[in-house]
Amino acid sequence: MIRRFFLLVSIFLNLSSKSQNLNQDSLFGIVKELGYSKEYKKSETFCKQLINSYPNNMDYKVFLARLYAWQNDFNTARNTLVTIPESYKSNSEVMDLLIDIELWSGNYETAVLYCNKALAVNNEKKETTMLKKAKSQLLLDDYKNALTTLDELLAINSASYETLALKDIVLEKSMKNQVSLSYLNSSFSNPSFKSWHFTSIEYKRGFRKCPIIVRATYGNLNPGSGTQFELDAYPKIARKTYLYLNIGVAEKNTIFPLFRATFDVYQKLGKQFEASLGLRYLHFSIVDVYIYTPSLTWYYKNWKFTYRPYFVTPNSQIFTSHTLQARKYFKKNDTYFSINAIYGSAPFLYAFYQDIARLNSQRIGFDFQFRLGKSLFIRPFVMYDYEEYYPTFFRNRFDAQITVSKKF
């Protein structure tokens, strides 16, 4: 910390007096050190002073543009690069920065174009450029060309861990089909009741613009049973906006709603936050239920924290539930551990009338998804529930579920 303070003083004094006691390269090295240490504003201030003192040095302008890009100020970064002479724009550092700006700002098609241009004019950063090209193609869901780029890169360096890891991700993403089978058991004590059983099977198809899921669920509540059929869709309507749509039907005289529908809109709010607003409609033979549910999600490093309230309105009444989820992602996003805390009567796993009708509930649950091999996933889930199923009558409920999924 003391060393950095004296570095800053040295830069200020030398730039203010235009002294030559400390040469340009040494000054620029200090400016870059500040930038690499994420002290962007300090680095930006002194980089601008370097540009004022030495306006013909393009390296300073390029680094200033990179500082803006690191701070997600992509338009200012682009405008800074516009002032650079055309003859300098084929420089490998400039091309690399142009690629980063478009890649980080989500303009993946433009990033691929800059990658192709960089590969055509210079080879100083060939491997780095090809890797960024493959990442952009992956984010465009262009798995075929991403694999081609990665195979070309592996022909140059077959031992690159980053390239091999990215190829594994591309191969996994290219598996657009998934079949899942799950079983849920709900047991009760104090007082005890017969266990409830749910079995479901689903098929997912990962279309680029709108993944869909078809699901069939059989439930047996002893007494009472039924089968429900559902269709889920996740259409992307903008780069940071997507929908969750659900429609379901069930046979008559069943535990499930005869008809159900869901409409949720999700909006990403920068890099760390996501919000949603949704409505669920459940039509039972004896009542119609509307559930209004917003949510707010915060992403922090490898964690995801979500708060979601539910406002349930059966028979013109309003019941409120609250859910909190903390999820820890491991090296791959399909491997995670979650903690779920819930207060209120809103359904969590399956929507059936007995869950809607109960008065109150306090729940805590845990789930963990892990993979076996490259395409098989196991997800166990357990939850303890202390519920008021009738005025002043309480019981313990234990939910245990296992889900097995296969991608292909």
Which pLDDT value is given to residue 15? 53
CATH number of this structure's domain 1-89 = 1.25.40
Domain limits, the chain: 1-89, 94-174, 177-407
Q: Which residue reads 């008809």 in tokens?
A: 259
How far apart (Å, rounded) are the C-alpha atoms in residues 46 and 43?
5
What values do phi and psi take at 150, rounded to 5?
-70, -35
What values do phi and psi take at 14, rounded to 5?
-70, -40
Which pLDDT value is given to residue 21? 45
Residue burial 323-350, b: 16+ Cβ < 10 Å; e: rest: bebebebeeeeeebebebebbbbbbbbb
Instruction: Return the ∠ at Cα 385 (arms to 379 and 391), rounded to 5°.
Output: 150
pTM recorded for the entire structure: 0.73
Tell me if residue 329 falls in helix, strand or coil.
strand
* Domain 94-174, CATH class in plain words: mainly alpha
Rg of the chain's alpha carbons, rounded to an integer? 28
Which pLDDT value is given to residue 22? 54
CATH number of this structure's domain 177-407 = 2.40.160.40
Same fold, 1-89 and 94-174: yes
Q: Would you write out the chain's pLDDT as a tens digit for each of its 408 residues?
A: 455 555 555 555 555 554 454 567 788 998 999 999 999 999 999 999 999 989 999 999 999 999 999 999 999 999 999 989 988 888 889 999 999 999 999 999 999 999 999 998 877 789 999 999 999 999 998 999 999 999 999 999 888 889 998 998 898 888 889 999 999 999 999 888 899 999 999 999 988 789 999 999 999 988 889 999 999 999 999 888 999 999 999 988 788 999 999 999 999 997 799 999 999 999 988 889 899 999 999 999 899 999 999 998 877 778 889 999 999 999 766 899 999 999 987 777 667 766 766 668 899 999 999 999 888 999 999 999 998 878 888 999 999 999 999 999
